Structures are given as structure tokens and as C-alpha cells.
Amino acid sequence: MYLSKFNRKVMEKAFRENGLAFHPLFTPGPHIFTGSESPLAKKKSVTLEDLSDYPRLSFEQGGYNSFYYSEEILSTEYAKKE
């Protein structure tokens, strides 16, 4: 679970309404996973443009869950392939 500029208000409201407190455990950076032969594997870092020709995976949250509960950090960014 994470807080972002996009979901912070909704998540904090849900915490309050349910008597919960959010305590960050760490601040991770984004990661991608590639095969060793991928052109991206040879780069020290990649940009969103580097990723634009690759499909983005996302996970179905179910029919009754809010978009704000999405676990993908770039879910609000455009992707050519998803």
C-alpha cells in the first residue's frame, strides 16, 4: 500500500473512517524487470519514453474497488499498450 499525490486524500479519508493509521515502512523507487538480453537491461536507468513501446501490466482490482486503490505507480500515465 502506498500514498501518492493522486490517492492521498482518498486513502487518508478511508484510514480515518476505519480508525486506521498509515505508517510508511520505506520509500522505494520504481523498478522494471527485464530479461538479460533486453536492450533495457544494458541501461543504468530508463525513462518513461524508453518504456513506451513495451506493454504495461496492471492488476484488476475487482468490480467494486476504486481506481484510487490501484497499486501501480504509473496508473495515471498514458500507455500505448496495456
Give the residue among 39, 33, 37 at the shortest CA–CA distance from 56: 33
Please indicate, yes or no, whether the overall pTM of this predicted structure exceeds 0.75.
Answer: no
Beta carbons within 10 angstroms of residue 34's beta carbon: 13
Q: What is the pLDDT of residues 28-72, one digit of tens each?
A: 778 888 899 999 999 999 998 898 888 877 666 666 666 666 666
For the chain, the three-class secondary structure string (H helix, E strand, C coil) is: CCCCCCCHHHHHHHHHHCCCCCCCCCCCCCCCCCCCCCHHHHCCCCCHHHHCCCCCCCCCCCCCCCHHHCCCCCCCCCCCCC
Q: What is the pLDDT of residues 7-17, one digit of tens each?
A: 888 889 999 99
Domain ranges of the chain: 44-82
